[in-house]
């Protein structure tokens, strides 16, 4: 079965410092991986995705993620965190075994950036 | 482009009543839409896959008679919570897959349902 795990419920970072939000996955076949951000009482906003190609994927708002096949990881990173980055972050893998490509989400990581 | 709206954004109803939530793709056609449920600070739980012109596919444990889904057009799917009870209170989020695109999901802003 395909799954994705976010080992940290919460990540705390000081503004201006680099941030990493971790994600590991388990899939059969080639993974389609996604990162989304959710602000309070809002829907999900797409940040970036990995389908194929370069292992380093650049996305919205200065975020990037590195696909590491040997470690089955897809960690989200940003060189310099902003207070406005504080939100709930979800990693997801697309279920390629089912038509329609439903997403399987990790449990989410709450990012808190302090001034 | 690729905007998905939900209506209403927030609804409060009495126990035993039914509530309808709409999900619309505003600037693209969506053959497939998904309905999710989210509890506070938790992940999204997929409830069902809504396919235009056919019956929805429900995830295990989701009562299809309780959560009625209708996907009557390529831009509209509705979720009706029938005979709602306080335990149905939750944040409901839909997403739509662009029919002509790279099957990326675009998410609606969510609907907060509170059942008294």
The predicted pLDDT at position A51 comes to 86
Ramachandran angles phi, psi of A61, nearest 5°: 60, 25
Q: In tens digits, what is the pLDDT along chain A, a chain of 115 residues?
A: 788 999 999 999 999 999 999 999 998 888 889 999 999 878 889 999 998 888 999 999 999 999 999 999 999 999 999 999 999 999 999 876 655 578 889 999 999 999 9
Which pLDDT value is given to residue B1? 64
Query: B81 versus B41: which is more confidently predicted?
Result: B81
Nearest to B108 among A43, A88, A110 (CB): A43
Contact A108 B107 (CB under 8 A): no
Residue A100: the pLDDT is 59
Tell me the three state secondary structure of residue B111. strand
Q: Both tokens of residue A11?
A: 């990540």
Closest partner residue to A101 (CB to CB) among B41, B97, B109 is B97
Q: How many helices (H) and strands (E) does chain B have?
A: 0, 11
Residue A107 with chain B: CB contacts under 8 Å: 42-43
3-state DSSP: chain A helix, strand, coil percent, rounded to 5?
A: 5, 50, 45
Q: Chain A window 16-75: which residues touch B at a Cβ cutoff of 8 Å?
A: 36, 41-46, 49
Beta bridge partners of A43: none
Burial of A31 (0-12, 13-18, 19+ CB in 10 A): buried
Record: contact A101-B112, CB cut-off 8 A:
no
User: Tens digit of pLDDT for each residue in B42-101?
Assistant: 888 999 999 888 889 999 999 999 999 998 888 999 999 999 999 999 999 999 987 765
Q: Among A41, A103, A107, whose Cβ lies nearest the Cβ of B105? A: A103
């Amino acid at each position: 079965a395909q799954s994705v795990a976010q080992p940290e419920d919460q990540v705390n970072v000081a503004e201006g410092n680099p941030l990493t939000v971790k994600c590991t996955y388990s899939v059969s076949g080639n993974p389609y991986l996604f990162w989304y951000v959710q602000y309070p009482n809002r829907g999900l906003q797409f940040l970036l995705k990995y389908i194929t190609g370069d292992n380093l994927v650049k996305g919205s708002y200065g975020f990037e993620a590195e696909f590491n096949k040997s470690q089955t990881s897809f960690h989200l990173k940003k060189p310099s965190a902003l207070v406005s980055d504080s939100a709930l972050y979800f990693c997801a893998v697309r279920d390629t075994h089912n038509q329609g490509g439903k997403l399987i989400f990790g449990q989410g990581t709450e990012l808190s950036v302090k001034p | 482009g690729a905007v998905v709206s939900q209506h209403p954004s927030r609804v409060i109803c009495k126990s035993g009543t039914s509530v309808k939530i709409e999900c619309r793709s505003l600037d693209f056609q969506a053959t497939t839409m998904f309905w999710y449920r989210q509890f506070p600070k938790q992940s999204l739980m997929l409830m069902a896959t809504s396919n235009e012109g056919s019956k929805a596919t429900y995830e295990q444990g989701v009562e299809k008679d309780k959560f009625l889904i209708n996907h009557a057009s390529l831009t509209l799917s509705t979720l009706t919570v029938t005979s709602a009870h306080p335990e149905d209170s939750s944040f409901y989020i839909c997403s739509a897959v662009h029919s002509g695109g790279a099957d990326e999901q675009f998410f609606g802003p969510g609907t907060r349902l509170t059942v008294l």
